[in-house]
Amino acid sequence: MNDCIFCKIASGEMEAKLVKKEGNCLAIEDINPQAPVHLLIIPAEHIQDMSEAVGKGVLEEVFAMAVLLAEEKGLAERGYRLVINCGEEGGQTVPHLHLHLLGGRPLTWPPG
């Protein structure tokens, strides 16, 4: 997808604060952080959303990287949140699947 910002970041065509790149996914710092730790874990391949992602092994990789990063960022003990916004009403603004890792402060519920 040549107009997709996360494809461009994955290929190195667009700059981002890269935190980790391993296997078929990468993690970057969110440009508009909502918590002291706010990372996005992104499959390198263009996968639009959860409907496209299920059944592909990449979901396991994305979640495994999130758990590893939560440990590395010191969040495993205190807790954190993983979020995938799906579609318009779910709040998805970038149509390339990504998992938000949020932590470093108490997070409220329900979401807005």
Q: Residues with catalytic annotation? A: 98
CA distances from 24 to 43, 68, 83, 104 (A): 6, 15, 19, 27
| DSSP annotation string for 22-39 | ETTEEEEE-SS-SSSEEE
**Does residue 50 belong to the site contacting Zn ion (CB under 5 A)?**
no
**Does residue 5 belong to the site contacting ligand AMP (CB under 6 A)?**
yes
Q: Smaller CB distance to Zn ion: residue 36 or 91?
A: 91
Residue 51 corresponds to which amino acid? S
**Does residue 10 belong to the site contacting ligand AMP (CB under 6 A)?**
no
Task: Give the DSSP H or E segment for 63.
Answer: helix 58-72
How many chain residues bind Zn ion (CB under 5 A)? 6
CA distances from 26 to 21, 46, 89, 94, 109 (A): 4, 12, 26, 16, 28
Q: Which stretch binds ligand AMP (CB under 6 A): 44-52, 56-64, 90-98, 102-110?
A: 90-98
**Does residue 32 belong to the site contacting ligand AMP (CB under 6 A)?**
yes
Contacting positions for ligand AMP (CB under 6 A): 5, 16, 28, 30-32, 40, 85, 91-94
Contacting positions for Zn ion (CB under 5 A): 1, 4, 6-7, 46, 96
